[in-house]
Structures are given as C-alpha cells and as structure tokens.
Structure 1
C-alpha cells in the first residue's frame, strides 16, 4: 500500500492512497477458501464445491466486500502512520475507471483536531454568588401551594362575584350565531382573575350573581390551537348557576396533612430545600460562565471548519424553528438573519471551548466510568416507550457517535467540576435578582439572549415583541457536546411529536 500526502494546510489534510490489486485479490481468495466448505450446489457433496465455481457464483459480492474492507484498513493506516486525530469522518473518493483486477486509487481528505497545550489549572480564581433563602420566600412558596389547593364554599344569597371568587356556569359558544363544536359546557367552574380562559372572558363576568344570564363577546387569540377559531370573534351565552367564595387559608399542620405530610414545618423544610436547589443551579451557571469566559479569553486557536459548520447548523435550525412560531414570523426571521455572523461566532466559540475542556479533562485524568455510562444510558432509555427501549439500547451500543453525544454533557460537567475544585473561590451573598443579572450580562454589561445553560448570546436590538432570537437557548458559553467528546458531530435527534390541539373551548390561550 502506498500513501502520499498531497496537502497539509491548516487543519486540512489530503492523501493519495494506492491499494495494490494483488492485495484485494488475496483478500478475495481468502474469503473464497473460508466460505467454500459451506457452499451447497447440486451435483457436489457438501464442502466439495470447487473454488472456481464458488468464485464465479459469489465473486462480485466478495470483491466488493474485499474492496470496502481494504479501504477501511487504508484509512486506519493513514490515520495511524501520520498520527492524525480526525475531527470528522474522512472523505474518500475512488478514482474513476476502477475495475476488478486494477489497483484501487483513493483520494482521502479530512480535517484534524488542533494540537492544544493543556492549560495550567493553577491560579484560577472564581467568584461564587450565593443567594440565601429567606423565610418570606418559603412562606410565598407555601402560599402558592395553597392557591392550588384552594377550596370554595357557597356565597351568601344575592352576592356578586368578585376577582378571586369562583362561579359555576353553563355556556354555549357561537360563531355568527351558530354554536361551534367544543364550545359548550355545563356546570363549569371558573375562578375569576385566574386567567385560565381566553382574554376578556373572565373580566366580563365580574359582578354577576347566581341566576344571571349574560351574553359576552370575545376574540380568540391568533395562536389558539383550534384553526377554525383563531382570531375569530365569538359570543358566549352564559347562565350563572352559583357564586362561591374562597375558604380562608391557614398554614398549619392540618393543611400539611392534606398534602400527605406530617407537619407544616416538614412542608416548609421541603420547600426551602427546593428553593436552595434552584439557587444553587443558578450559582453553578454563573460560575460556569465565569470559568468559560476565563478559558476563552486565554486561548485562541484554529478549529475545524466542519465542526463549526455542524454546530452552526444546529443553532440555526433551532433559531429558525423558534422564529417561525412568532406572530410576525417574517420579522423574526429577518432579525436573526441580521445576526447570522454573530451566531456563527457563537458556534466557533462553542467548538473551541469544547476542545479545550476535552484537552483539560484528558490531561488530568477526568473520565466517565462504565457504571456512570450505564446509568446514563438507562436514564435516557426511560424516555422511550417500553417496547422501544431495547432498540434504543442496541442503537447506542452499536453507534459510537450516538454514545458520544449521550456522554458529552456528563463529561463536560465533570471537567467543569474538576476546574471548580482547582480554583480559588471567593463567596459573596447577593439577591436572586442580582444573580440572574450577573448570568444575563455579557462582557460589556449588556443583557444577552436567554440561555438554558450558561450565558451570553449576541446583543439584541430593541424591538417590540420579538422573541425568536431573544428566547432561543443559544449561547456562546455552551461548549459543543461533540467537541467535548472529541468525536465527529453525532446525528441530530428526531423532532419530538407535535402536541395535539386543545379542545375548542374558551379555556387557555
């Protein structure tokens, strides 16, 4: 086998590979000898079919298999002999005119991962912003639970309904005077002011009393799930059957026991723990952002264009899907289009940070154990129906890229935790609002796009009610999972099934 490097430019490599015809032929003969004893043919005893007949019968298939195996081995040899760390799967082209009996001429091109010096973890300093949970916050959480457990009793005869009261109603919804499907209900409870029905519905019923009959007009929202009602003006003929007032809430042991707990103090303790966990998550996000900012500021190296492009495509697909859901989808798409270069920069930074974290992890012995990986796979399998779980498990075990995609976030977290342990951390108590502001502020102190994991996206332009770029969880602080795993980008996940439209009642928006 002859291998000649034809290009070495930046992170791109190209090679010319010649696989001798004799090597391919020898592999074919080896396969013929292996399968001949198993071939059955009329007129011959089992295992006695002549090799030339086996070759004539199975030759083309055996040659194709031998060629593919030889190509795979050639690629492995190119990588091994030149000490390459491929960033993506190599591209292989077989020269035109190849036929059985000829040498196989290959053109192999690929991108490699950059050589990165593992940065020193000494001298790393981070500030940890801590939000203590106050008693008042705990009581607010108790009150929120009480709101969901609220009970109502009949109001005094002739009482008029106010915000916070519950009314029991029959209603018939009509479009142009004709009742529409799903727009009728009897004995429907409605808490005024709760905002559970479409805008304008509840407000028009404040002041009614038991026995009242009233017709109201409302307009269904443009994004209402039922297509026949979107943006439509409708009337509802309403009969008020009862007015009920909320019972008085007392935070005591009896209330806690209604929830299956032993005491109100146990409830408060559970809620305090939840709030502390939420604040701890925000604190981790803030610290991770600091860490990644520090790493990014100290390292600027070339990254494989194909990895950047794959990361950008994932970001762009997410953004365009979100923009398409906006009321003014065209304007939202124009907004993100204007910031396309910024999102490409985010993709490049994600890949660079991912490679850097991977290098830090490898050089410091950070690893995911088999037990951790098994637990990760089992947790992921629980998202599927029972009859599909085994197929998922088989897929993960047979597809290295899928397994890498699954393990990458966990590996990233372990490297981040390693760096947290190495850093000199100072703590400062702040309010929750201050912590959130620290997370949302970019390098220049300007508010970024909301991010699910860490921190800033490109600056937003002020615009009324444009959410696509602002609400999409895109950040230049979230390292590309594929890069962290040091694998080629894994296949994109299938989109989740769309939710079924809600029934055509005035409930919800």
Structure 2
C-alpha cells in the first residue's frame, strides 16, 4: 500500500492510496482458498475444487468483495499510521472509469482511490477554576403554594348539569358538537364532537365563547368569528368563518373547599401533605430553571473561550439539520421569513452561527468528557429509555424494540445525559456564586426572543393545536 498526501490545508486532508494489483491477487487467492471448502460445484468433491477453477467461475464477484474489504482496511490503516483523528467518516472516491474498474476486477490494474476528511482540531479547555457563574436561587413562599393549590382546586371543580331550560353563563362548561365553514365549505381541523368548552376561559378563538352565552341545552346555533391575522395556519389567518354548533349539555361549576377532604380526593393524606407535595414540586421547578440559567452562562463562557477552527463538514451537516427543521416549521405554520421580521439570507446567517456554536461546544464537551473519563452508565441510559417509552402509552413494546435495534437512536438518548454530566463536572470546579432572587426574576429571560441552542438536541419543533376552533399562537422558528 502506498499513501500520498495530496491536500493538507488547515483541518482538511486528502490522501491518494494505491494498492498494487499483486496484493489484490493475493487477497483474492486467499479468499478463494477459504471458499473452496464451502462451495459445491458439480463434478468436484467438496473441498477439492481447484482455486484456478473458482477464479474463472467466481473471480469477478469475489474480487468485488475483496476490493471493498481492501478499501476499508487500507483506509483505516492509513489513518492509524498517520495518528490522526478524523472528525467524521472519511469520504472515499474510487475511479468512475468503467474500463479502469474492469481492469481492477480482472486483476490487471492497481487499486487507486482518494480519501478526504477533516481532522479534529487541537482542543485546549479553559481553566475551569477561573470561570465565574451566578446561580439565581428563589425561595418557595407560602403565597406561591397557596396560589398553586387554588389552581389545582379550580381544575378539579365538580360540574353538575343545569336544570332543563337554564341558560349558559360565564364559567359554565358546555359540551358541544361543531363544524367550521369558510365560504360555506367545511375546512380541515374545524370540526369536533363532544368538545368541552368553559365559557370565559379564552381557550377558543376570540368571539367564539361569547356567542355561546345565554343558550340552553339542545340549542343549535351559528357562531360567526374572524380568525386572528397572526393565526398559526396561514390559510385561515384573517378569514371570516361560521361554526354550526349544537349545545349538548350545560354544566355549572360547584364549589371546592380546600381542606383535608379535598387533599384526600387527590390521593394525599391531608391538606398539609398536599402543601408539602406542591412545595417540593415548585422547588424542583425553581432548581431546574436555576440550573438552566447557570448552564447557559457556563456554555457562553466556554464558547467565548474557544477560538479553534471547526471542521467545515460538521458545521454544514449541523446547519442543514437546523435549517430543515426551521423551514418545515415555517411551511407547517404557513408563515414566511418576512412574517418573522427577517429575510432568508439573515436567517441563514443566524442559524449558521448557531450551528457553529453547537459544533464548537459539542467538540469541547466531548473532549472534556473523554479526557476526564466521564461515562454514561447502563443504569442511566436504561432510565432515560424507560422515560422515553412512557411518552408513548400503548406503544411501549414497539418503542422499546426500536431503541434496542437502533444504536443511533440509543446514542441520541445518551448524548444529553453525557452533556449534563460534563456540565456538572465543570461546575464543580468553577466559581459558582448564589444570588437570591424573586420568582419573577428567576423565570425572567432577557433573551427569550432568541434561540441560544445551548443544549445539543436537534429539536426545534413546536406543538401546534390542529383543532382550528381553538385558539393557537403563531408559529415562530426557534
């Protein structure tokens, strides 16, 4: 095998690799020798088929296998000999000349191919002890707990059907059937049966609930509304619509007394136990928000400290993944870049920077984890898999088998766990100062109009409400 370096520019490498025809012939003969004990050819006893005869019968097809195996082995050997770390699987380019290919398969020409790749940059992690981050912490006060319990009580109000002939009022829960029409034609997602709507909740598009006030059970009516100009489905935005509505039941809300009996109805021993559970959950929410903001600061600091060159192909691949999701989101919502107060060119530049940041931080965190022997345990991975499976009730077995059979999918579960462990490692060495703040300050994000993409999951999707009778905010790519 002869290896000639043809490109060495920054992180880019290109090698010309040549394997003599004689070496290929030797590999071919060895392969045919292995085959002679297994093939069955009429006129020959098992194991007695001459290699020369096998070469005449199977030589071309076996040589194709030999060439593939040789490329795999020699390309790996070339990288090992050079002691380089490719940033991705190298691109292999064999000749496309049919005559040349035929000569190689016949053993009449050397095997020559090009291998191109980019190497990982030399990474130098900053001094973690000099990184300073501020951790905002908020206290869970009694007023917040009482407020949360009041919301729980509101959500668990009992409803009882109103007496026959009674008219609907604000706060009542109506059970309705409806069919939405534009210009007399039903539109997709504009119909439902046995839908429940609480008058005054604002859960449906403006004007819808108001026109259902003062009606009796059994009433059939037509609700006329105009979809908001910024409605997520562009083909409905600003359109006038009519909904044929049948009021099937009117139920009035009952009173809820927040006491031990209420707590027991929720499966807890007492009101005090309910308060403890609510306090614990709120504390977890506060801690998660605090962690999120600390992690953002940390990754900002790491990103600012890293100035190394990035493998261009990794950035390209990351950008394409982001861009595909962004354009799909826009298409699904029927919006354009102009609706988002930008242009495609500006959006591309913005998301290119995000892709660069992801690659830069991804490489650094991976390097830190490797050098410090940070591992994701089987227990941690199984826990993540169980959590994932639970997101698909009724399909648990199918989802479980999918992850068991797809290493790439399992790797996607492992990645965020690994990242969090590396972040924990760095935070343990950094200077973390706690800062007492209010709940409002803790959850305030001055950059909430922008996408930082500090985590390396590739999810930009939005959960949109496809029932067009219901109110839904416009789509905006993250």
Q: Taking structure 1 as the reference length, what is the TM-score of the superposition?
A: 0.78
Report deviation, 1:19: 0.8
Aligned to 1:75: 75
Is the partner of 1:331 in helix, strand or coil? coil
* 1:245 positional shift: 3.7
SS at match of 1:42: coil
Distance in structure 1 (CA, Å) of the matches to 2:272 and 2:383: 35
Distance 2:186 2:314 in 1: 56
Aligned to 2:433, the other structure's residue is in SS state strand
Change (3 A) 1:212 1:320: closer
| Cα distance, 1:220 vs structure 2 | 6.6
Contact 2:208 2:225 in 1 (8 A): no
Find out whether 1:477 has 2:454 as its counterpart: yes
Distance in 2 between residues matched to 1:130 and 1:326, nearest whole Å: 37
Distance in 1 separating the partners of 2:70 and 2:185: 74
Q: Matched residues in 2 for 1:229 and 1:300: separation?
A: 45
Alignment of 1:231-270 (within 5 A): 231=239, 233-234=241-242, 236=244, 244-270=251-277
- 1:471-501 Cα deviation digits (max 9, x unpaired): xxx42533x46xxxxxxxxxx99x99x9996
Change (3 A) 1:427 1:332: same
The structural deviation recorded for 1:418 is 0.4
Q: Report SS of the residue matched to 1:332.
A: coil
Q: C-alpha separation between the residues in 1 aligned to 2:222 and 2:157?
A: 27
What residue is the counterpart of 2:372 in the other structure?
364
Q: CA deviation at 1:65?
A: 1.1
Q: Deviations over 1:143-185 (max 9, x none)?
A: 2222221123466898764321345778888888899999697
Given that residues 326 and 332 in structure 1 are in contact (C-alpha distance below 8 angstroms), is that contact kept between their aligned partners in structure 2?
no
Q: Call closer, same or farther: CA 1:500–1:59 in 2, change over 3 Å.
A: farther
2 CA distance for matches of 1:174 and 1:136?
46
Distance 1:59 1:307, change over 3 A: same
Of 62-71 and 329-338, more deviation after overlay is shown by 329-338
In structure 2, distance between residues paired with 1:118 and 1:377: 31
Measured after TM superposition, the shift of residue 213 of structure 1 is 5.6
- Name stretches of at least 5 consecutive residues in structure 1 with no aligned partner: 442-446, 450-456, 458-473, 482-491
Q: Does 1:355 align with 2:363?
A: yes
1:397-408 → structure 2 map (5 Å cutoff) = 403-408=410-415
Aligned to 1:386: 397
Q: Please report the TM-score for the alignment, with normalisation by the length of structure 2.
A: 0.83
- SS of residue in 2 equivalent to 1:335: coil
Listed as ranges, the matches of 1:1-16 within 5 Å are: 1-16=1-16
Aligned to 1:434: 441
CA contact (8 A) 2:129 2:431 kept: no
Counterpart secondary structure, 2:406 = helix
Identify unmatched segments of 5+ residues in structure 2.
473-478
Match of 2:20 in 1: 20
The whole-number CA distance in structure 1 between the counterparts of 2:236 and 2:300 is 50
Structure 1, residues 10-55: CA drift from partner, whole Å, max 9, x if none?
A: 0001111111111111111111111101111222222222222222
Residue in 1 aligned with 2:323? 316
**1:106 pairs with one of 97, 101, 113:** 113
Contact 1:124-1:423 at 8 Å conserved across structures: yes
Deviation at 1:416, TM superposition (A): 0.2
Q: CA separation of 1:123/1:104 partners in 2, compared to 1, >3 Å: closer, same or farther? A: same
- Deviation digits for residues 168-220 of structure 1 (CA, Å, limit 9, x no counterpart): 7788888888999996978x7653212344432321233x2658967443237
Q: Corresponding residue for 1:288?
A: 295
Give, in whole Å, the separation in 2 of the partners of 1:268 and 1:42: 84
CA distance in 1, matches of 2:187, 2:293: 51
Residues 50 and 185 from structure 1, CA distance in 2 versus in 1: closer, same or farther, beyond 3 angstroms? closer
